[in-house]
Structure 1
Amino acid sequence: MNIGQSIGVFDSGYGGLTVFKSIAEKLPQYNYIYLGDNARSPYGDHSYETIYQYTLDCVEWLFAQGCPLVILACNTASAKALRSIQQKVLPVKYPNHRVLGVIRPTAEVVGDFSSSKTIGVMGTRGTVNSLSYPMEIAKFFPELKVLQQSCPMWVPLIENNEHLNPGADYFVDKYLKELLEKDAEIDCILLACTHYPLLIPKIKAILPEGIQLLGQAEIVADSLDAYLKKHPEMAIKIAQEGEKNFYTSGDREVFDQHASIFFGEEIESEQMHLQV
């Protein structure tokens, strides 16, 4: 089904909906298609090759639905697949399409939130092991010290709707303590996974005073707004009917139930069938 020219927003599951919500609030006039690859999530512990192939599958599907611009609202996909898709696939197969991620927009501004010039980055194993954040941040803030902490239990807790229950407290406390023990100068923590905003109430409850917590959703929305203003040739391709369409590669009923928590309103999705 071709819905027309839309902005595609992709995530391995639900987390990208936190980014999509901010994008749709910032730029409500455009048409959007959101795709969650729930049948194969989470991506965090997969190999580079697997994450790349899964991401490319979904990007090409969004292209086929009429999306000339796709946002990878997933840190793991942005870390492990974005550069290869931009450099190896688009010039050869899709020269008029663009794929953007969430890491670079965040790296461009994160240093502005730290007085001590020491920040913490919390993400999945895949994102942390890729070293994408330290490398990207160094391009814009070479003086910034970046400490990373992988949080392998956070995404499963959130995707199973256990994140607000008392059982999640242990893992929130555990990973925060492990990060803060690495350097007492940390005064800003970046949540480098789009799932993690759902844990903000628990994180703030135990976060020491003076440490700022930074999410990505508004940063990415502002960056997309700036990109479309800078590239009017892309902006004019996108239909301005304010339509939002949701697809999942997993179970629709399960997706709709969980997605409404992330997006803040009821969602009715359609099935996307993977060709694997």
Structure 2
Amino acid sequence: MLSTTGPIGVFDSGYGGLTILDKIRELLPQYDYIYLGDNARTPYGTRSFEVVYEFTLQAVRKLFELGCPLVILACNTASAKALRSIQQNDLPHIDPSRRVLGVIRPTAECIGELTVSRHVGLLATAGTVKSQSYPLEVRKLYPDVQITGVACPLWVPLVENNEFNSPGADYFVHKYIDQLLEQDPEIDTIILGCTHYPLLMDKIRQFTPSHIRLVAQGEYVARSLKDYLSRHTDMRTRCTAGSSCEFLTTESVEKFQEAASIFLHQQVHVRSITLE
């Protein structure tokens, strides 16, 4: 079988993965990228494991069809609910030479170096918290670190409706941080376990005690990808390097362009596709 060469695929259920893509392109600008947002079926955070797996596999197959040798699931819910099944059960049949990576493992890897108290908080979607993926991954690497998670169901709608800087956002940001710190007052590090949350960073910082470190995922995922490509020369040579980026959405092109201007602070050309 001839090895496929092409762009790096980046998939998210909506717009949040643009925060991951932004950091990846900042660190690795030389490669070509395709970003696919399943905006028509977002959010994934409240959906069942079976549905998230089905939707994510459809997206991975589409990115493979478009020539991607490597796909990053820039979505915590997809990483939590679908990644392992796709890696273990589907890739061997689809194409064993391709790879699918997630965002949870790279985030977990950095935690041991960041926390002193060994008490870490997780703010994420209900699906990510319920999956227990972060405690499981962190425990493999750092058995002494305790993870406490709180779901923040209203944060994604605040971001996607461009209300993240509004006074109305204050109540809901403050509420979930207070819930987390009430459950474990010893927390000294908080993982923002959803790719939308960096846009709420100013408000999250406002309501978080100053000694607590906030961990946004983008830079850690980007650093992990750079390390992965440096260790896997075969995959690095298959990722084309033309510094291009294509954007695909399953929903309205106009809505995606509007959101991209918020997440990336730039205008982008977008194409609409269907997943099945």
**Partner in structure 1 of residue 45 of structure 2:** 44
**Partner in structure 2 of residue 216 of structure 1:** 217
Q: Distance in 2 between matches of 1:11 and 1:148?
A: 22
1:35-75, Cα deviation, whole Å (9 max, x unpaired): 00000001000011000000001010000000010000000
Q: CA deviation at 1:261?
A: 1.0
Please report the TM-score for the alignment, with normalisation by the length of structure 1. 0.97
Q: Distance in 2 between matches of 1:188 and 1:20?
A: 24
Q: CA deviation at 1:267?
A: 1.4
Q: Distance in 1 between matches of 2:151 and 2:223?
A: 27
Q: CA deviation at 1:264?
A: 2.5
| SS of residue matched to 1:207 | coil
AA in 1 matched with 2:246: N
Q: CA deviation at 1:217?
A: 0.1
| SS of residue matched to 1:143 | coil
| SS of residue matched to 2:224 | helix
State how 1:65-214 maps to structure 2 within 5 Å: 65-214=66-215
Point out where structure 2 has 5 or more consecutive residues left out of the alignment.
none
**Partner in structure 1 of residue 26 of structure 2:** 25
Q: CA deviation at 1:265?
A: 1.6
Q: Distance in 1 between matches of 2:49 and 2:246?
A: 29
Q: CA deviation at 1:266?
A: 1.4
The number of residues matched between the two structures is 272
**Partner in structure 2 of residue 60 of structure 1:** 61
AA in 2 matched with 1:25: E
Q: CA deviation at 1:216?
A: 0.4
Q: Distance in 1 between matches of 2:164 and 2:70?
A: 32
**Partner in structure 2 of residue 238 of structure 1:** 239
Q: CA deviation at 1:262?
A: 0.9
AA in 2 matched with 1:178: Q
AA in 2 matched with 1:138: R
Q: Distance in 1 between matches of 2:242 and 2:252?
A: 28
| SS of residue matched to 2:266 | coil
Q: CA deviation at 1:238?
A: 1.3
AA in 1 matched with 2:22: K
Q: Distance in 2 between matches of 1:178 and 1:55?
A: 31
Q: CA deviation at 1:126?
A: 0.4
AA in 1 matched with 2:174: D
Q: Distance in 1 between matches of 2:244 and 2:256?
A: 19
Q: Distance in 1 between matches of 2:275 and 2:135?
A: 34
1:237-272, Cα deviation, whole Å (9 max, x unpaired): 111110000000010000110112112221121111
AA in 2 matched with 1:77: A
Q: CA deviation at 1:205?
A: 1.1
Point out where structure 1 has 5 or more consecutive residues left out of the alignment.
none
1:171-201, Cα deviation, whole Å (9 max, x unpaired): 1000000000011110110000000000000
AA in 1 matched with 2:206: A
**Partner in structure 2 of residue 271 of structure 1:** 272
Q: CA deviation at 1:274?
A: 2.2
Structure 1 runs (4+) greater than 2 angstroms displaced: none
Q: CA deviation at 1:111?
A: 1.8
| SS of residue matched to 1:236 | helix
1:123-181, Cα deviation, whole Å (9 max, x unpaired): 00000000000000001110001110100010111111111111111110000000000
Instruction: Please report the RMSD computed on the Cα atoms of aligned residues, expressed in angstroms.
Output: 0.8
Please report the TM-score for the alignment, with normalisation by the length of structure 2. 0.97
1:71-129, Cα deviation, whole Å (9 max, x unpaired): 00000000000000000000112111100000001111112111111010110000000
AA in 1 matched with 2:160: E
Q: Distance in 2 between matches of 1:13 and 1:244?
A: 17
| SS of residue matched to 1:264 | coil
Q: CA deviation at 1:8?
A: 0.1
Q: Distance in 2 between matches of 1:125 and 1:190?
A: 14
| SS of residue matched to 1:109 | helix
